[in-house]
Amino acid sequence: MKTLPLAMALPLLLGGCIRFGAEAPPSLLTLTADTPVAVGETTDSATAKSITVMVPSVPQELAVARVPVRSSATDLAYLKNAHWVEAPSRLFARLLSDTVSARTGRVVLSLRQSLTDPGARLSGELRQFGIDAGTSEAVVTFDATLVRDRPAAPGGARAPQTFEKRRFEARVPVAAIDAASAGVALNRAANQVAVQVSDWVGR
């Protein structure tokens, strides 16, 4: 048998043993607001209150684009084939921004826009964003911190800055502990928490 030229032989040899990058998951999960901002609607900070929504901090288990499944208080695994399109904290912050804007009429500012005058500030920690295998529920827990607008006191001085903290949680049953069911249930739970937070902000 004739020897193959080296340039032809190398691709044949390497093709069976080298893979560039991880295999892509079948699909990616994302969050969608139940009350999105209306297309074409304009909000103006001259006539409406503003708020800055910060990306929440997360524990290490949520620092990856995976869906954690808790089988007990100390046992955790990640759901097979369940991958978020980006970090859960950023997805949740965007959902929260849309919901607060749509339900309260506030102007939601980006971090850079808020440098001039942030208005109210909403931050916090996303404590849970996954599946409880024991109860077959999607669980979203958000520890929120709110700094409300500081009204001007007589003489132009601002009132002292105060912080409000509150824990919000939603639990939604999952039909099955798989990627598709988890994505639907977590989206519902995240929206429920976002509505609770927006009602709190709008008081």
Tens of pLDDT, residues 175-193: 999 999 999 999 999 999 9
Q: What is the pLDDT of residue 126?
A: 98
d(CA 117, CA 109): 9
Place of tokens 């007990």: 72
Please give the torsion angle defined by the CA atoms of residues 121, 54, 37 and 31, in that order, rounded to the nearest 10 degrees: -150
Q: What is the pLDDT of residues 25-56, one digit of tens each?
A: 678 999 999 987 767 565 655 446 889 999 99
- pLDDT digit string, tens, across residues 60-86: 999 999 999 999 888 999 999 999 999
- Tell me the angle at which helices 88-104 and 179-201 cross, rounded to the nearest 10 degrees: 40
Question: Which has the minimum average pLDDT: 34-38, 96-100, 124-128, 163-167?
Answer: 34-38
Taking the model in full, what pTM does it have? 0.81
What percentage of the chain has pLDDT greater than the value 90?
Answer: 60
* Residue 37 structure tokens: 């901002």
Lowest-confidence segment of 3-7, 27-31, 118-122 by average pLDDT? 3-7
Token pair for 118: 């942030």
Instruction: Tell which residue, 115, 103, 107, has the closest CA to residue 49.
Output: 107
Give the pLDDT confidence score for residue 203 in this predicted structure: 79
What is the distance between the terminal CA atoms of the chain, rounded to a whole angstrom?
83
Residue 167 pLDDT level (bands cut at 50, 70, 90): very high
